Amino acid sequence: MYLPCVSGETWTVIGIVVAVAFALVGAYLVLSSRESGRHASSRPARDAFRQGTDDEPPPRKRVAVVVNPTKFDDLPAVRATLAKVCAEQDWDDPVVLETTEHDVGFGQTRTALKDGVDLVCALGGDGTVRAVAQEMVGTGVPLGLLPGGTGNLLARNLEMPVDDLERAMTVALTGRNRHVDAAWLTLDPEDLELEEGAGEGSTAGERRHAFFVMAGLGLDAAIMDSTSEQLKSKIGWGAYVPAGLRNMLTERFRVTLTTDGGPPETQKARMVVIGNCGKITGGIDLLPDAEPDDGLLDVIVLAPRGVAAWASVAARVITKSDRTTATLSRSRCQTAHVEVDEPQRVQVDGDIIGEATRVAVEVQPRVLIVRTENGRPNGG
């Protein structure tokens, strides 16, 4: 084979280049080996990431139950039922917080939320539900509704169990969330605006009240105020009938209603009801168009003068007639201002909160999460 003539200097250069190349390759291999060994010694074993997963399960969810102890003859049995359902659903033992004469659920709910529970349940009458729900508005924590009173009106309107504590507790722990509206009623709002320093914990807090079913002034508040609690515990919603008969023919008052800032309308009336839900005690659908999550308030003004007029009103309520007449008018709105010519008793979800000549009501859409069986009906 013929080889070109190459000088000695050229071969020297070629040899140096080859030697340097081999040196670089060798150095790279050594460094790679050391780097791999260093990583191998410092990298944790794959099983190290799994430590505790088999032996330490995640913490169980926690629920607080705000209960009105006066509603139950055997509170230990109630506690046992709640604990049984929690154990079956793999929740921690329930934290049971009892209401008192001086705090019907507001402070207990704040305590539960501060403790970071995953769910708060109200177990008592409509007043207990209202107090608990008011504190939970906007918190993002779900509310469970447990039957413990005569009406259980919010639960009835949401088609929840109202006669089975165990089933209701199961729904609270495992059901679907439904976002419902909150309505806020302020007593004598013009007077409040004139007061200085009306902040949280002052007269503002005392005059502004949340409700989730209905508020009213006039006859319905008078009925609720004069109904015996002992009779309610014995015969249920039928206890309202005697009070209704005693008050149904009292003197009418003049009311001026303004909705959504429109023109005021004045008429004689016996009661004004503003509802977020439609069903009342006895299964009567007083406000058939009302939905708890539609962002609207339904207002009804009743003004019958005698027994015959009351019979006509009853017929219209039963048939769900939406026709407006001098004895029964309906409207829908987001805000309402009611002014009467003489002080009237005012109720929110069955609680008498005082007397007033003016009230202002506004709706706060979908700010309360309620645990239900099926979420919103019709897939909405």
% of the chain residues with pLDDT over 90: 59
pTM for the model:
0.79
Two structure tokens written together for 300: 């009804």
Please enumerate in sequence order all residues whose Cβ is within 8 A of that of 341, keeping only pairs 6 or more positions apart, or say none. Answer: 253, 254, 255, 357
**Torsion over CA of 6, 9, 10 and 11, rounded to 10 degrees?**
80
**pLDDT for position 41:** 43
Are 93 and 59 within 8 A, CB to CB? no
Please enumerate in sequence order all residues whose Cβ is within 8 A of that of 231, keeping only pairs 6 or more positions apart, or say none. Answer: 239, 242
Supply the mean pLDDT for the chain: 82
Examine the pLDDT at 137 and tell me if it is beyond 60. yes
Task: Identify which has the larger pLDDT, 347 or 6.
Answer: 347
Two structure tokens written together for 118: 């995953």
Task: Identify which has the larger pLDDT, 271 or 326.
Answer: 271
Rounded mean pLDDT, 187-198 = 64
Burial of 108 (0-12, 13-18, 19+ CB in 10 A): buried
Task: Kindly list the structural domains of the chain, giving each domain's residue range(s) and its CATH number in brackets, ordered by start.
Answer: 63-176 (3.40.50.10330), 184-365 (2.60.200.40)
Q: In which band, very low, low, confident or very high, does the pLDDT at 112 lie, cut at 50, 70 and 90?
A: very high
Q: In which band, very low, low, confident or very high, does the pLDDT at 172 lie, cut at 50, 70 and 90?
A: very high
Rounded mean pLDDT, 123-149 = 96
**pLDDT for position 240:** 61
Rounded mean pLDDT, 236-264 = 79
Candidate from 23-27, 87-91, 252-256, 306-310 with smallest mean pLDDT: 23-27
